[in-house]
Amino acid sequence: MKTRVMARIRRPWGSKTQGEAGLTLLEALMAIIVVALALSAATPALILTVGTRVQSQRAEQALALAQSQVDRVRQIVERGEVGYTAQVNSVAFITTANELKDAPVPTSFVAAPNALTQARLVDLDGNSTPDFAVQIFRTAGYTPAGSTSEVAAFDLGVRVYAADADQNALQATAGRLGTTTSQGSRREQPLAVLYTTIARSETGDSLCGYQNFIDSTASTGLECP
């Protein structure tokens, strides 16, 4: 009995026996603070990663959309149907700029463009909300003399902008895809830009047409009109 009383007296006030082991209120509070600090340090990096991934996905979609427009025009030309030049003109408006990169930027986004400075709104995911605006334009190109009046070759340009881009401050050159949580410079710059040459290839004089389009004075050994 005496031994038990002495053990209780000698035990420091507030110390825990084996059956009372656990965290004190102060220890629990410190653990919560440490976890909160760790989360607050990691959250910006996670948000940045997600934001960059979203922007990268949008850029990939824009590039695929631009390529599909190039393929669309190329298919019209390669089919070689009568009046295909008019079909091309209904898709790509002619620019008077010497180089495609100097073609004027859009000044408005519309559902059915009828001018060079208009870009067509595109709803890519089918949710009734436009995702992108596509501007398609071409040079006058080369039309061979003779019975046909169909254009044989021309340069084609496609610019794809975000549908919510600032239509009053659009630029012609695509911006770099950086690490960002917002659209940044892509509010003014296109998400994708493609320039290419379209040439008819299924007729016997197609090669001559392409030569005349590039440089009519070039010496290729061909007897072209």
Residue of 156, 191, 170, 173 lying closest to 69 (CA atoms): 156
Residue type, 150: E
Residue 199 has pLDDT above 70, yes or no: yes
| Chain centroid to CA 131 | 10
The pLDDT of residue 112: 94
Per residue in 117-175, pLDDT (tens digit) is 999 999 988 899 999 999 999 999 888 776 567 888 899 999 999 999 999 999 998 86
Structure tokens at 57: 């996905």
Domain-embedded: residue 168: yes
Confidence at 45, pLDDT banded by 50, 70, 90? low
Instruction: Tell me the C-alpha distance between 199 and 139, whole Å.
Output: 12
**Confidence band for 5, pLDDT divided at 50, 70 and 90:** very low
Asked if 179 contacts 172 with a C-beta cutoff of 8 angstroms, the reply is: no
Could you give the percent of the chain with pLDDT greater than 90? 42
Residue 222 domain-assigned (yes or no): no
**pLDDT tops 90 at residue 42:** no
| Structural domain range at position 63 | 42-215
Residue 24 lies in a domain: no
pTM above 0.75, yes or no: no
Rounded distance between C-alpha atoms, residue 155 and residue 213, angstroms: 10
Give the pLDDT score at 31. Answer: 81
Task: Give a yes or no: residue 16 inside a domain.
Answer: no
In terms of DSSP bridges, do strands 118-122 and 108-110 run parallel, antiparallel, or are they unpaired? parallel
Beta bridge partners of 138: 94, 156
Q: How far is CA 191 from CA 69, 104, 116, 223, in A?
A: 15, 16, 19, 43
Q: How many helices (H) and strands (E) does the chain have?
A: 4, 6
Q: Which two tokens stand for residue 208?
A: 């001559």
Answer whether residue 22 is part of any domain.
Answer: no
Question: Mind listing the pLDDT tens digit for each residue in 174-196?
Answer: 866 544 444 556 789 999 999 99
Q: Establish if 26 belongs to a structural domain.
A: no
Looking only at the bridges linking them, the beta strands covering 132-138 and 93-94 are: parallel
Percentages helix, strand, coil for the chain (3-state, rounded to 5) are 40, 15, 45
What is the average per-residue pLDDT within 203-213? 58
How many domains does the structure of the chain reveal? Answer: 1
Let me know if residue 5 belongs to a domain. no
Residue pointed to by tokens 């990096």 = 45
In a domain, 10, yes or no: no
